[in-house]
Structure 1
Amino acid sequence: MSYFTRFMASTAIALSATFISVGMADAKNFKIAVGDSGGSSQEATGVAFVQALEELSGGAHTATLFLNGQLGSEQDTVNEAAIGTLDMSILAINNVTPFSPTVGVFSLPYVILSLEDAEKLTQGPIGQELTENTIEDAGVRIIAWTYTGFRRLTNSKKPVTSVADLQGLVIRVPKNEIMIDTYKAWGISPTPMAWSETFAGLQTGVVDGQDNPYTTINAMKFYEVQKYVTNIRYIFSIEPLIISEQVFQELSAEDQQTVLDAGKAATAASAQFLRDKEAEIKQILLDEGMEISDPENNEEEFIKLATEAVWPKFYDSIGGIEKMNAVLAEIGRAPVSE
């Protein structure tokens, strides 16, 4: 073999090794914190995102889910993503609200009344504006939306079908002012408690009840420590997938688009998961011995007390009454006045 041939062969090997090294260096395995456990809507969104990310990147990128709060409380993961020490997190919107108050509009009681409402608001101009606000306020970017369904009230003491039935019960809520004030409007003072402490709190009787969608009640096995379910629909639970804006900006333009496209696919998969699974999961809860009741009079008393007391209090934090009316208009609802 001539010197030139040997030189070209060694150069080709070196270049090939360089390309492989660069490719390996660019490959990402994102860490995704997930508040809920296996079988939850959060997990379904995460799995769909990972599958789409791998497919859209041709296998170059993937992600690993850390379920059941392994990487810390949901609010802690916002802080960690903001400073770039965590890549992504799937968490309840109410745990984003303290960092970016305008997203609190999605937690106001009885604003979202269906999955279709949730899809219109999150995937339209309102959702885009709130995403931009969250980048600026919290240093994280919403890239997908999990639709988990209405938060249903559960408790271990008695059936609840009226506001009067709530009295005397100790109800756990997240550390979220809107949700706390909603229960206060119904005449009780709820107990703020971290998500990671909730099962133990129910099990030991520190709290009598909590509220979460059917999928979460089942995934967290709350039927082991709760007996009664009330089909209130005061909040439709929306749980975004966020990415650290610092991490996002470190990606190439192509990889940024891949992440955003994977997020859109995960959002669509989440809506389908809820449509396919909610009735099935409700039956599982019945089979596990839970008793499910509907509120009296189509929930009229719950609605009246909550909307009259809570909505006006939070107009300023969500961007003003004009913003509230823009949200209502987007879903075909009548405006409110001062």
Structure 2
Amino acid sequence: MEVCFMKKNFMVILLILCAIGLMAEGSKEATAEKKPVLELTLADTGSGPNSPLTISGTAWKNEIERLSGGEIKVNYFTQSQLGGERDLMEGIQAGTIDLYLGSTGVAATFIPEMNVFNLPFLFLNREHCEEVEFGPLGKEIVSFIDKYPGFKGLAIGGAGWRYPMNKVRPVKKPDDFKGLKWRTMEVPMHLDTYRAFGASPIPVAFTELYMALKLGTVDGQENAPSITYPMGFHEVCKYYTTLPVLLNGDIYVMNKTKWDGLSEKHKDIIMKSAQVAARALNQAFQDEDEKALQAMIEETGLQVYRIPGEELPPFIEATKSVWDKYLPQFPQRLREIALEIRDLGKKYQ
């Protein structure tokens, strides 16, 4: 009896050990199945957690990983961790970075067709932007990116504007710009836009802009509220106008060689997730710009003039010379696209 009992116990223990072994093997297999089959590097120059770029980049990473069911892991570097916008565009070309989102302004030095976004009053509000960005015209603009070595275009986004702000007087009509010294980006179309208003554009490094405003080296600057607020410009300026002069547009791109090596399934995931990220960018601009405006009003009594659509035509007319100068320099199809976008905007005036 004792021998039988011991044999039975031995068999039970053996079965338990076998079961444990099988469970361990199954666990290893499950872990192996969850291991990403592809890792991608995503980079941008977002300024922090509340930056529209960082919000969009986070949404892009999360959506890629969600749609792929863990097959793709995205290593996300924001806040210029891998360099400035030019560095990141060069990194995409070289293949040291896989995914990038950043301004159309810098992108235009690599992809000249992106200069279309530097035309004044090209887009008048978020609805106008999204009608283009997520429609046939936007798809066509994105396709231009593919012409240039190293780049695969995925999406365009951006529904935030470089609103004019100054320390002298409210801007409610074009003449209110006259005689004011205005800091703008050193982009020819931006400079000529403010000259057309009658202002004197003066180049100032962004890092030196606060002191330039405080000392009167310049009277005004133009940036989105979500950028203006953390820089403290409302401490030295009194007036802000929600005038949609120039758009803060952004592109979503991938390294072409990396793209070519993807499966069709993964290509579809990258493309769809870029659209989600672009919409997140637009929503972030709306949310964060409004929060920034309210904070500046509460902190310093900043006077904000929310210009209605019916008051835009005089400003648009004032900058007609910029269109007349630069539009003929565009390739024919890009000229046609710019005019189509402008015509779409008439219903928003």
Give the TM-score range, shorter chain: 0.7 to 0.9
Structure (1 or 2) with the larger CA radius of gyration:
2
**Cα distance in 1 between the residues matched to 2:230 and 2:263:** 36
Aligned to 1:31: 42
Q: How far is 1:300 from its partner? A: 4.2
Percent identical among aligned pairs is 25
Aligned to 1:305: 318
Is contact 2:45–2:84 with CA below 8 Å preserved after alignment?
A: no
**Cα distance in 2 between the residues matched to 1:286 and 1:326:** 37
User: Match for 1:281 among 292, 295, 301?
Assistant: 292
User: Match for 2:194 among 183, 189, 193?
Assistant: 183
RMSD between superposed Cα atoms in Å: 3.4
**Cα distance in 2 between the residues matched to 1:193 and 1:263:** 34
Is contact 2:152–2:253 with CA below 8 Å preserved after alignment?
A: yes
Tell me which amino acid in the other structure corresponds to 1:325. L
Aligned to 1:4: none
Change in CA separation of 1:325 and 1:151 when aligned onto 2, cut-off 3 Å:
same
Is contact 1:95–1:176 with CA below 8 Å preserved after alignment?
A: no
Q: How far is 1:133 from its partner? A: 1.0
Aligned to 1:153: 164
Change in CA separation of 1:234 and 1:23 when aligned onto 2, cut-off 3 Å:
same
Aligned to 1:62: 74
* Deviations 1:65-98 (CA, angstroms, capped at 9, x unpaired): 321x343332332223222233333322222223
Change in CA separation of 1:127 and 1:295 when aligned onto 2, cut-off 3 Å:
closer
Tell me which amino acid in the other structure corresponds to 2:337. K
Q: How far is 1:292 from its partner? A: 1.6
Aligned to 1:77: 88
**Cα distance in 2 between the residues matched to 1:85 and 1:202:** 39
Q: How far is 1:42 from its partner? A: 1.4
**Cα distance in 2 between the residues matched to 1:144 and 1:113:** 20
SS state of the match for residue 174, structure 1? Answer: coil
Aligned to 2:243: 232
User: Match for 1:40 among 51, 65, 68?
Assistant: 51
SS state of the match for residue 181, structure 2? Answer: coil
Is contact 1:180–1:192 with CA below 8 Å preserved after alignment?
A: no
Aligned residues: 317
Q: How far is 1:310 from its partner? A: 0.9
SS state of the match for residue 148, structure 2? Answer: helix
After TM superposition, the structure 1 = structure 2 runs for residues 159-174 of structure 1, keeping only pairs within 5 Å, are 159-174=170-185
Tell me which amino acid in the other structure corresponds to 1:319. P
Is contact 2:123–2:129 with CA below 8 Å preserved after alignment?
A: yes
User: Match for 1:267 among 278, 282, 285?
Assistant: 278
Tell me which amino acid in the other structure corresponds to 1:104. N
- Residue 234 of structure 2 corresponds to residue 223 of structure 1: yes
Q: How far is 1:55 from its partner? A: 0.7
User: Match for 2:99 among 78, 88, 100?
Assistant: 88
Is contact 2:174–2:318 with CA below 8 Å preserved after alignment?
A: no
| Mean CA deviation greater in 248-257 or 293-302 | 293-302
- Residue 113 of structure 2 corresponds to residue 102 of structure 1: yes
Change in CA separation of 1:286 and 1:53 when aligned onto 2, cut-off 3 Å:
same
- In structure 1, stretches of 5+ residues that fail to align are 1-8
Tell me which amino acid in the other structure corresponds to 2:321. A
* Deviations 1:133-190 (CA, angstroms, capped at 9, x unpaired): 1221364334344434232112344443344443443322223222121112122342
**Cα distance in 2 between the residues matched to 1:300 and 1:279:** 24
SS state of the match for residue 158, structure 2? Answer: strand
Tell me which amino acid in the other structure corresponds to 1:238. G
Is contact 1:162–1:295 with CA below 8 Å preserved after alignment?
A: no
**Cα distance in 1 between the residues matched to 2:226 and 2:256:** 29
Q: How far is 1:309 from its partner? A: 0.4
- Residue 254 of structure 2 corresponds to residue 243 of structure 1: yes
Change in CA separation of 1:203 and 1:136 when aligned onto 2, cut-off 3 Å:
farther
SS state of the match for residue 288, structure 1? Answer: helix
Aligned to 2:60: 49
